[in-house]
Every structure is written in structure tokens, then in C-alpha cells.
Chains A and B, each alone.
Chain A
Amino acid sequence: MFKHFISLQWKSFWRSASLSSGIWMKIFMGFWAVWFIIMMASGGAGAFFYIKKELCLDPLEVVSRFLIYWWAFDLIFRYALQKMPVINIIPLLILPFSKNKIVSFALGKTMFSFFNIIHGFFFVPFSFFLIVKGDAPVLNVLLWNVGLMALIYANNFLNILLNNKDSLIYIVGSIMAVLGGLHYFGYFDVTQYTAPFFQGLYTSQFLFLVPVLAVVGLYIIAFRSFVKDLYLDAGLATKSKNVKTENLEWLDRFGKTAIFLKNDIKLIKRNKRARSTVIVSALFLFYGLLFFTGAIEVYNDPVWKIFAGIFVSGGFLLSFGQFVPSWDSSYYPLMMSQNIKYREYLSSKWWLMVIATFISTILASGYLYFGWEAYLAVIVGAIYNMGMNAHVVLWAGAYVKTPIDLTSNKKAFGDKQSFNVKTLMLSLPKLALPMILYAIGHYAYSPYAGYLLVAIAGIAGFALRNMVFDKIERIYRTEKYKTIWAYKQKK
């Protein structure tokens, strides 16, 4: 029986429209998977040596202390990105499979998810060095690992149970944020209370049973609730809330552009996929901490400051913008047959990105804490983002042809990410160019000359706006038929 499921999965993966579209896609996906694995593995090894040599602390103790945050982040991350295993179940319901089989397959499938396996790449090398270099007893390290993996899998099933319960995840997220804040400013250290548990997984030989039993329990609960909900009007139903009609008339001052701007705001507010993109872009705001706190050594090179500035101010631009016009993919034929000028459509997207960049820049004023030069990098990054990157993103978008399913988060990472040589080439001016410009100014004259050069490039982008829009408009028009066709290819 499982043979059938597996062959169905196999076909659905390899025959999906967006994957079969090109070899580049596969290479790109493979590249990112390998990259992640290498990063995690070297992180695991690196953490061991860094803590031992540089901080002269016990690596296991330090890692155990912070595991509570790791665990919470994992849960939030999963909630935002991991897809639910409900897809493709409906056609199976009336076939002669028992419901238990369907559910155990669906749940079993999630166990092999990248979200679970990736953790192993950190903990296995870390544990390896613990044993080899740290002379830790093999059995205890092993039990520690079993306990951790059990916690990770507990998250896996917890996420299935929590799916669509938005409020719960926000509560977990805000509790963690508050605890993290209290910890950072030294008022209250939650790790003091949680570390003994994680440490205990190592020192005690029986504590690992707690997470293992938790996983078994959660699996059973998830299994039961899944079987119980295997009805079209229960677990498989698409939920619909009562909604209100909104006017957003205050946007009308933007003229014709407002028509689309209003729509885009509703798009972001009302669709899960778009919302998670906004959440991700909010996380970019904190990305600069890695640079300005000197947490990572390679990032101390001054050129990376401008890289940070681009990301901090342009999180939304880069994460939302890269999928323009795919956000409108489900009704693209409507847009194309309506009385719409491409220019207005594009400029509304442009305004959206500019407004978001502006807001990000204001929010990023917290970086003033690290001195006004840190914030200057953000401001210069913002100018470059508005002037240059907003155009480049729209331009690259003309070649993006993967439809987006707005209502689900599935494959926010995976094969929806359209990829081809053109978009790769266009990503260079987004990040590399400002860094190069800055480096020229910085090394030839002074840091301020570097900032000035980047800012000038951004302002030049503004000045060329009309010309660039003409060009983008032409590309959108020639790509139109291909785009409509591609958007019709649902998974």
C-alpha cells in the first residue's frame, strides 16, 4: 500500500510544472541544500571550537543553555514555512485505503522533512567533537542527541497540531521575545531554569525519556486528531472567516496608482503566503545585529556594513519584490484583459516597495545604539534600495514565471522559487554593485566617500526612473503570453 503513496509522491514531485521547467532550477535547489548543510555542519564544528578555545567554557553547557531559544525559533520557523501534509489527500479518501494508512503516511512523510533533518547536521559534528576532543562519554552524548532530536520531532508534530491556530503561535513568539529581551538586558535569565533540563539530558541517563515520551504522545494526539478530521468539512476544509469589506479610501490621494495599492495591501493582509513574506522581511531588520555587534568575524570588514544596510532596509523589497508579478498570478488574465496601463501597475508595485523600505528604515533607527555610522549604512542602503533595487527587482520580475498559491505556505522555499540565469544576473546589481562602489570609495578615500558613492548610485536610479520603466514595460509586454501560460500551470 505504501508503495502506491510513495510512487504518487515521486510523480507529483518530478512532474510538478515548476520543477520540470528547467535544469537550472534543480541545480539551484541542490546548491542551496548543500549550502545549508555545509553551513550547519561547519556551524556545529565551529561552535565547539569557538566556545572551547575562545570563551574557555564547556561547549555542551553553553549550547544547552541556549537550546530553549533554538527550540522556540524552530517552532516559529516551522509554523511560518513548513507545509502541512494535507495536500493530495482528498482524492485518496474514497479509494480503498484505510484512513489510518493515509494518516500514517502523511505524518511519516513530515518526518523526513528538511526542517527535521537539518538539525542533525549541526548536532552530529558538534557531538563528534564533543566525544573526540572533549572526552565526553559516548553514551551520554548519544542520549543528549536522542533527547534533542526528540524535541525537534516534538516540534514537528506540535506544528501539525497548531496549524491554523494563529493566536497560539503569536503567544509563543511574543513570550520568547520578551524572555529574550529580559535576558539580554540582564533582568531575568530564563536559561537558568531551562538549562538544567537540557544539561540533564546529558548528565542523567533517564531524562531523555521525557522528550521521547512527549514525541510519542504528540504523535498519537496528532494521529488521532488527523484521523478524526479527515473529512471535507473538518480538517480538510479550507477555513473561511467572517470578513469585512474595506475601502482604504485614505490611499486615494495616490491617484490611479491607489487602485492597485489598495489591492496590494489587501493581498498582504489576507493571504497567508504574503503575510509570511512580510514576517520574514521583518526578521531582516535584525540581520544587521550580526554585523554591527561584531558577532561574526568576517562581517567586520567595512564593506559588509553596506551589505547589512541593504538587507536591513530592504527586507521587504527583496523578499516580496522578487515575486512581483507572481503575487497576481491567480488572476493575471483578468489584469491583462482589463483597462490597465502597465505603467500604473508597475508604479504601484514600486510605491509599495518604496513605502516599505521607508518604514523599515524608520524601524531600523534602533541601530543608532551602535553609533550613528551604523545607522548611516542603513540609510544609504535605503537610498540605494529605493533608487536602484526597486527597479532591478521589477525588472527581474518580468522573467519570474512561477505561479504563487496565495492561500498556502507550501513551498515558500521550495520549487516555487523561480530561478533562471537572467534573475541570477540581475541579483548582482542588487547586492554586489553597492558593495563594490562602497569599496572603491572606502579604500580610495574614506568611508564617507564610499557611502556617498552608493547614495549617488541610488539617486541616479531615481533620475533614470522613466527610462527604466519604459524598458521594463517593454519586457513585461513581450513576456506577457509566456507569463499567462506559465501561471496556468498549477502544481
Chain B
Amino acid sequence: MKEFIEQRSIKQSGHTNKKNKRMIGVHNITKTYAGNTVLSIEHLEIPKGDSFGLVGNNGAGKTTLFSALLDLIRPTTGHIENNGIKVSESEEWKSITSAFIDETFLIGYLTAEEYFYFIGELRGQNKADVDALLAEFEDFFHGEILGQKKYLRDLSKGNQKKAGIVAALIGNPEVIILDEPFANLDPTTQIRLKKIIKDLAADPNVTVLVSSHDLMHVTEVCERIVVLDKGEVVKDLSTSEETLKELEEHFNK
């Protein structure tokens, strides 16, 4: 995994490396469905290089926020900026952003390899680049993804998720959005995934956004945690020793 990070840093050394530069900016967004407000965030900034965790109960608006970030839904009011670009106006942000939200990000009739190469081609990576990256994730795949002679749609939910997460890392993205990455994974894979996310977070060029229902995992991998409740930000914490306790108390109300 270390090589993977080093490789990334070498590739990106040309970029400006100023910490605290704003990467994601959310401005006054609301999303209303038939008079029912599901998301309402006045202001939220995520600096470059941050590892950002989003927690909240079902229906709190986590996936809605991520979908709006990816310009998959249009907020009722307000706008979102990614690297200074309004996501709904230009598509320039797409080349530096990658995501795995749910199975609609997988192409069911491809094998895992074909899917990785397809994403690679879209992101300007040749086969050798993709192969080199995949080699780094041999542990994570646990022999269940590559060379399986199966289409993605025939893999188990957990294995589909593994493929989707790794595909989101192809092509040196600077913003990586993972919705519920720990769900459906076996314990061993969860631990390996935590390592992967921590390593990504250590790279000052990469901004990671993760949502989870598992408070332990998210406090372990994220430097900052935002709690959403009924579409609003109710807590914004820098992770420390007490964070887990504080979160547990919040959700135990």
C-alpha cells in the first residue's frame, strides 16, 4: 500500500500542495421533494487533503448530499463548488473526481477486469497503469475479484463493493467520494479498507469523503466528522479521543 501512496505522490508532485485550500464548497443548498425538505445546508467547506466523514441515520440526507456533489441531482436552491468549479455549470470537475455510491456505478455485464480497464480508459490510464494499480490491491481483493470468469452482476454484494471502491481509485482522482463503503464487507476487508482510506487521507492532494453508519470505523479513518440530521448539519467535529463517545451519546438520545 505504501508503494501505492508513493506512486501517487510522485505523479502529483507537480500540483500545488497548499494545505487548507478549499476543495469542496457547499453554499446554501436545499433539496425539497414535494414540499418536504430533505437537505438544507447553509455552508460547508472541505479543504484539500481532508478526510471527511458523514454520519447520520437513514434519511438524514447523506446520499442526497453526495449525489448533489456529483451533479446527479439538482439542488432546489444553492450550489456546490468542486475545486472552484460549480458542479452544475461545468463538467471540468469530473476529471479529478471519482465516486462509488451504489451498484448503479457498476456495469453489470462486464467482468471486473473489463470494468477496471473501461474506467481506466475514461480516466486516461492505459492497461499497464491499471494493472499496476490493481496489483496494489491484491490483498484487498482476497482472490475474489480478478480472474473470476464472472460478470460483475453475478458477484456477491460484498465483492461488487470491493470492485466499485477500487475502480473509484483509478486515475489518481483528487476527490474520492465513497457512500457507505464499509457496509456489506466482511471483517477482514473492513480492516483492509480502513487502511486504504487512511493511506489516501495521508496524501495531502487527496480529499476523501466517506459516509457510514458505523461510528467506530468513521472515527478511525476521518479527521473530521459531520453529523447530518433531517438534512441539516447538527455537529461538525474534529476527530479526537472523545469523538466516538460524543457521537454515541448524540445518537442515543
Contacts and interface: CB of A to CB of B under 8 A. Distances in A.
Given A243-B150, A245-B114, A337 B97 contact: yes
Given A270-B151, A340-B122, A484-B72, A334 B106 contact: yes
A338 B107 contact: no
Contacts of B104: 330-334, 487-488
A374 to B, nearest CB: 38
Given A243-B151, A244-B149, A339-B124, 19 more contacts: A240-B150, A246-B114, A259-B122, A263-B110, A263-B118, A267-B109, A330-B107, A331-B104, A331-B106, A332-B104, A334-B104, A334-B106, A334-B107, A337-B94, A337-B98, A339-B95, A339-B122, A341-B91, A487-B104
A400 interface: no
Contacts of B248: none
A341 B94 CA distance: 10
Given A481-B73, A481-B74, A340 B94 contact: yes
B105 to A, nearest CB: 4
Contacts of B122: 259, 338-340
A336 interface: yes
Interface string B36-72: 0000000000000000000000000000000100111
B108 A266 contact: no
B229 interface: no
Contacts of A243: 111, 149-151
10 contacts: A243-B111, A245-B111, A245-B113, A259-B122, A262-B118, A263-B107, A266-B109, A337-B70, A337-B97, A338-B122
A271 B119 CA distance: 20
A242 interface: yes
A420 B241 CA distance: 58
A262 B110 CA distance: 11
Contacts of B67: 333
Interface of B: 67, 70-74, 91, 94-95, 97-99, 101-102, 104-111, 113-114, 118-119, 121-124, 149-151, 153-154, 171
Query: Lowest 9 CB-CB distances: which A-B pairs, in order?
Result: A240-B154, A334-B105, A270-B109, A337-B70, A242-B149, A333-B104, A259-B121, A339-B94, A339-B95
A339 B104 CA distance: 16
A203 to B, nearest CB: 52
B1 to A, nearest CB: 25
A192 interface: no
A485 interface: yes
Nearest to A344: B122
Contacts of A246: 114
Interface in A158-172: none
Contacts of B149: 242-244
A293 interface: no
B168 to A, nearest CB: 10
Interface in A389-430: 406-407
Contact of A271 (B70, B99, B109, B124): B109
A238 interface: yes
Contacts of A488: 104
Interface string A86-120: 00000000000000000000000000000000000
A338 B110 CA distance: 17
A270 B109 CA distance: 6
B123 A339 contact: yes
A485 B73 contact: yes
Given A240-B150, A240-B151, A336 B105 contact: no
Contact of B71 (A245, A267, A337, A340): A337
Contacts of A244: 111, 149
A410 to B, nearest CB: 16
A267 B108 CA distance: 9
A439 to B, nearest CB: 44
A407 B71 contact: no
Contacts of A263: 107, 110, 118
A238 B150 CA distance: 12
Most buried by A among B67, B106, B114, B149: B114
A222 B177 CA distance: 49
Contacts of A336: 70-72
Contacts of B105: 331, 333-334, 337
A433 to B, nearest CB: 34
A189 B98 CA distance: 63
Given A245-B114, A263-B118, A339-B123, A331 B107 contact: yes
Nearest to A258: B121
Nearest to A238: B154
A238 B111 CA distance: 16
Contacts of A270: 109, 151
Interface in A266-296: 266-267, 270-271
Q: Which of B72, B105, B124 has the most CB of A within 10 A?
A: B72
Contact of A407 (B108, B111, B113): B108
Contacts of A242: 149-150
Given A333-B72, A336-B72, A406 B111 contact: no
Contacts of A337: 70-72, 94, 97-99, 105
A407 B108 CA distance: 9
A459 B135 CA distance: 50
A333 B153 CA distance: 16
Nearest to A242: B149
B207 to A, nearest CB: 16
A331 B118 CA distance: 13
Nearest to A331: B107
A113 B106 CA distance: 34
A249 B146 CA distance: 20
B154 to A, nearest CB: 4
Nearest to A336: B72
A488 B150 CA distance: 25
Contact of B114 (A266, A271, A340): A266
A143 B141 CA distance: 65
Interface in A300-347: 330-334, 336-341
Contacts of A338: 94, 119, 122-123
A319 B150 CA distance: 29
Given A240-B150, A243-B151, A246-B114, A406 B109 contact: yes
A155 B234 CA distance: 63
Contacts of B107: 263, 330-331, 334
Contacts of B98: 337
A262 B111 CA distance: 13
A484 to B, nearest CB: 5
A339 B95 CA distance: 5
